[in-house]
A = this chain, B = another copy of it.
């Protein structure tokens, strides 16, 4: 298999299952189980793992005691562990827990920002200016999420120029990377190309990550389009766990398994062991008590159960 032209030789997968996945499942897992999930993901070779969020436990009970999770995991040298922080308090908690990387999040849609965090986009930037300044003083790297870059459940279409302007503003704050996010999973590959081409003059491709949801089945097509534009960092969630409770109709992040299966097929290195991702997803299925939506996980589960029956027959 030869890699198609222009496609990067190596891709970094940012595993967001323990945060964006679990945060958007109805069940709340305990600290031990979340730490075990992170350890299984470390064991699978994921190079970056978002382990939790330092947010209000009242508002997001699924992320309660993220400091406890950070304390309970077994850290492997070279793996980057990170967490979402909404403000300086969250940053300080993440720092106290021993994290050297955090993520902040704003939106490309004013209505989404207000409904999601009860702040205007400008207000979130005011907050994050403080976060970024203190993070720099503490030697903590900051990633920026930009939500609803391909469409907003309240406003509909989002102009790519606005996405580019806000990505540049995040860059000005000092973030090392912007995760251009399809929060509600409406993007299609032509739009991905349009947005990336509009972004290119403002956000270097090596600082561009894509955060996709597979709500309408287009996530891998969008990855493939983005690979052709040189994007080499993609977010994914083991098993395809998660969604977004604030976004009507959003169901599930791009599954890590599905992404790894396609990337390896394309001859792209990820450092991830697909079998071990399945192990992490099966652990999570056991904790949640139901199947997760990853197509690869479902196909492999069906195949193995069939092979098991064949073996007995």
Q: Which residues of A contact B (CB under 8 A)?
A: 1-4, 185, 188-191, 193-194, 214-221, 223-225, 248-251, 255, 258, 261-262, 265-267, 294-296, 298-300, 302-303, 306-307, 310
Q: Which residue, of A267, A295, A298, A303, has the highest number of chain B Cβ atoms within 10 A?
A: A295
Question: Copy number of this protein in the oligomer?
Answer: 2
Q: Return 20 A-B CB contacts under 8 Å, by A number.
A: A1-B190, A2-B190, A4-B190, A4-B193, A188-B265, A189-B224, A189-B262, A190-B266, A214-B295, A215-B299, A216-B258, A216-B299, A217-B219, A217-B258, A217-B261, A248-B302, A248-B303, A248-B307, A249-B302, A249-B303
Interface contact A185-B218, CB-CB below 8 Å: no
Interface contact A261-B188, CB-CB below 8 Å: yes
CB closest chain-B residue, reference A7: B190
Given the interface pairs A220-B217, A220-B220, A261-B218, the reply to whether A190 lies near B299 with Cβ below 8 Å is no
Complex A-B, nearest 10 residue pairs according to Cβ-Cβ distance, in ascending order: A188-B265, A249-B303, A217-B295, A217-B258, A220-B221, A190-B266, A221-B224, A221-B221, A215-B299, A216-B296
Interface contact B265-A190, CB-CB below 8 Å: yes
Complex formed: what's the CA distance from A294 to B251 in Å?
12
Chain B contacts for A296, CB-based, 8 A? 216-217
Chain B contacts for A217, CB-based, 8 A? 214, 217, 219-220, 255, 258, 261-262, 294-296
CB closest chain-B residue, reference A263: B188
Complex formed: what's the CA distance from A216 to B257 in Å?
9
Interface contact A194-B1, CB-CB below 8 Å: yes
Cβ 8 A contact of A191, one of B190, B191, B265: B265
Chain B contacts for A295, CB-based, 8 A? 214-217, 251
Chain B contacts for A266, CB-based, 8 A? 188-190
Chain B contacts for A225, CB-based, 8 A? 4, 224
- The binding surface of chain A is classed by DSSP as helix
Q: Which residue, of A1, A224, A248, A250, has the highest number of chain B Cβ atoms within 10 A?
A: A224
Chain B contacts for A194, CB-based, 8 A? 1-2
Cβ 8 A contact of A261, one of B216, B219, B249, B306: B216
Complex formed: what's the CA distance from A223 to B80 in Å?
34
Chain B contacts for A3, CB-based, 8 A? 190
Complex formed: what's the CA distance from A302 to B266 in Å?
33
Chain B contacts for A267, CB-based, 8 A? 190
Complex formed: what's the CA distance from A294 to B299 in Å?
15
Interface contact A306-B248, CB-CB below 8 Å: yes
Chain B contacts for A248, CB-based, 8 A? 302-303, 306-307, 310
Chain B contacts for A218, CB-based, 8 A? 220, 258, 261-262, 265
Chain B contacts for A307, CB-based, 8 A? 248
Chain B contacts for A190, CB-based, 8 A? 1-4, 265-267
Interface contact B221-A262, CB-CB below 8 Å: yes
Complex formed: what's the CA distance from A265 to B193 in Å?
12
Chain B contacts for A300, CB-based, 8 A? 249
